[in-house]
Structure 1
Amino acid sequence: METSPSLAGPFALGTFSAAPGPASPGPASPGPAFSGPVFPGLVAGDRVLDLSAHGPTTRALLERWDDVLPLLHEAATSAGEWRPLAELRVHAPVEPRQILQSGANYRTHVIDLAVAHEPADGRPAERVRAEVAAMMDRRAAEDQPYVFIGLPSSVTGPYDDVVIPSWCTKPDWELELAAVIGRPAFRINPDKALEHVAAYTIANDVTAREVVFRRDMPEIGTDWLRAKNAPTFTPLGPYLVPAAFVGDPGELHVTLKLNGEVMQDESTKDMIFDVARLVSYVSRTVELLPGDLVLTGSPAGNGLHHGRLLRAGDVMEGTITGLGTQRNGCRDEG
């Protein structure tokens, strides 16, 4: 059986709905015609197999991942009642209970942001770059990840529009690798952490740059609630690709194009803390549950670096090795 060349392995998991009546335009252009019930599906190539008999949602399948995965291998080669992918709408592949997001986890990205924010003390860019690079090296050797909480209500589908709120003046993109939890994880060591990751997917952690730092109360630092969590600010998917198919999550390539122009183009090798360390660190405080997401941070190449932020009419196309491609247009609120 052939599968999409953009996906690792013979199959992936997704969440779909069908259009009643005539065939719809396809997954990249969902519209009002898509009003059928939502169901979990196994996608292989250009076909989808309804998995509702095994569980009502992909999260329900992840809750029994050790038992379900062998069944998915069998289903991928079965005759079944496969449906054309082009006739289905592709939704966000999972509804997480919790989203844990890693900040400042790509060395080059952090250095670029520090330079872009133009220090008020007048230090030249070269000095800022050198100082932040040294700090990143110390973090990797001695420090711990920086993780904050995201809201599930910010999640939207891989082909849905990102809505720019009326108050947001500096919307930016941040394409990221997301680890999807299968087995519950609580206070686990890094050497065991990847055993709790069922799959990987793509997330775009859209950010309102102008409200990241509270100007009225600089002492309290960052305001991640407003900067990160507007509705549609976390496009997710298209699919959940089982971890066994992905291989080493530290050897993947992250690419984001804006209106066809490459803006982010980086390897996950540039992460300061790898997936295992991130999952382990989060689990020291939070009990990670099936379907939860651990976002691993954004590589270099954000809009602030390029001096070009998002605006209505833009189209973002994000790809990570073996995980497919998401494509999201941007529009103003209302």
Structure 2
Amino acid sequence: METSPSLAGPFALGTFSSGAGPAFPGLVAGGRVLDLSAHAPTTRALLERWDDVLPLLREAAAAPAGEWRPVAELRVHAPVEPRQIFQSGANYRTHVIDLAVAHEPAGGRPAEQVRAEVAAMMDRRAAEDQPYVFIGLPSSVTGPYDDVVIPSWCTKPDWELELAAVIGRPAFRINPDKALEHVAAYTIANDVTAREVVFRRDMPEIGTDWLRAKNAPTFTPLGPYLVPAAFLDPGELRVTLKLNGEVMQDESTKDMIFGVARLVSYVSQTVELLPGDLVLTGSPAGNGLHHGRLLRDGDVMEGTITGLGTQRNRCRDER
């Protein structure tokens, strides 16, 4: 199967299977995998004991003992099954401005006017310290090398590569200065979106329809691995998506309006974040709507974030 180079730190966690066998949690180090199912049935179970587990993982990664297997011999699944997924919208400055210009009706306001107005709105949001977060469904998650199936009703499928924070310690009503203590790891998510149903044209006063736009099966490719938070700085990462080998998104997480700590804290004011939950941090500029090129049957998306490896998904039309 696939391998994923350029991981930050000496090891990562993933979920794997061999042949028709059951999926198991695995420690990834040096292109090899150590089966951890004797210690926990899933990676989420490991995250539930993260403070105790992390030192043991460090020891295991440094030891030659154990039945290590090449990653290339295994199927790589989504690295964790979250209970809850929280998605940050409009969190990259340039991305939001580009989308506003793309959504402006023909004959509407000049592009420069739209850019100026949206930039002012983003500055106001940052000053008021109010992120925008909505809920995703775990049933939309698929593996880092699995097909993304475009539903028959979807006419404008688009990509949105994102950094995802993975919760370790439960978090409820925590302050931003403590929030990163509750993040166990980071991974890659592609928040595939049906653009034509984002806005409810039959009920414009209600606004957006995130259920249909974001949550079709396979619309959230995840992984390949969980890279411990201690191994990287989420504010200094490069988010890059290639479509059939051509770079479409290539932006630093520095362009985020609200960083990981602020987003995790914000979500925790309303709900309790649990081990294995995902907080997606928004997508940078360069989506298909901006390029005038949306996803088609046979397209291959390749998403990379510094230190987190690469996911690769082929698009398949349901029809």
After TM superposition, the score normalised by the length of structure 1 is 0.93
SS of the residue aligned with 1:220? coil
Q: Deviations over 1:288-319 (max 9, x none)?
A: 00000000000000000000000000000000
SS of the residue aligned with 2:15? strand
Q: Deviations over 1:190-234 (max 9, x none)?
A: 000000000000000000000000111111000000000000000
Question: Would you say the 8 A contact 1:256–1:317 is kept in 2?
Answer: yes
The change in CA–CA distance for 1:135 and 1:117 in structure 2 (over 3 A counts) is same
SS of the residue aligned with 2:202? coil
Distance 1:309 1:11 in 2: 35
Q: Deviations over 1:218-256 (max 9, x none)?
A: 11000000000000000000000000011x211100000
Q: Deviations over 1:3-47 (max 9, x none)?
A: 97510000000000xxxxxxxxxxxxxxxx832111000011211
Question: Would you say the 8 A contact 1:264–1:301 is kept in 2?
Answer: yes
Mean Cα displacement is larger for which, 131-140 or 168-177? Answer: 131-140
Identity %: 94
Question: Would you say the 8 A contact 1:176–1:295 is kept in 2?
Answer: yes
The change in CA–CA distance for 1:4 and 1:121 in structure 2 (over 3 A counts) is closer
Match of 1:161 among 133, 144, 147: 147
Distance 2:27 2:101 in 1: 44
Question: Would you say the 8 A contact 1:4–1:44 is kept in 2?
Answer: no
Q: CA deviation at 1:122?
A: 1.8
Q: CA deviation at 1:143?
A: 3.5
The change in CA–CA distance for 1:175 and 1:127 in structure 2 (over 3 A counts) is same
Distance 1:244 1:3 in 2: 22
SS of the residue aligned with 2:38? helix
Distance 2:292 2:10 in 1: 40
SS of the residue aligned with 2:272? coil
Q: CA deviation at 1:62?
A: 0.1
Distance 1:328 1:149 in 2: 23
Which residue of 2 is the match for residue 206 of structure 1? 192
The change in CA–CA distance for 1:3 and 1:148 in structure 2 (over 3 A counts) is closer
The change in CA–CA distance for 1:151 and 1:2 in structure 2 (over 3 A counts) is closer
The change in CA–CA distance for 1:80 and 1:68 in structure 2 (over 3 A counts) is same
Q: Deviations over 1:143-163 (max 9, x none)?
A: 300000000000000000000
SS of the residue aligned with 1:54? coil
Mean Cα displacement is larger for which, 105-114 or 4-13? Answer: 4-13
The change in CA–CA distance for 1:244 and 1:188 in structure 2 (over 3 A counts) is same
SS of the residue aligned with 1:318? strand
Distance 1:153 1:178 in 2: 17
The change in CA–CA distance for 1:291 and 1:165 in structure 2 (over 3 A counts) is same
Q: CA deviation at 1:54?
A: 1.5
Q: Which consecutive segments of 4 or more residues in structure 1 shift more than 3 A?
A: 1-5
Question: Would you say the 8 A contact 1:258–1:317 is kept in 2?
Answer: yes
Q: CA deviation at 1:120?
A: 6.5
After TM superposition, the score normalised by the length of structure 2 is 0.97
The change in CA–CA distance for 1:286 and 1:300 in structure 2 (over 3 A counts) is same
1:66 aligns with 2:51: yes
Report the number of matched residues.
317
Show structure 1 runs of 5+ residues with no match: 17-32
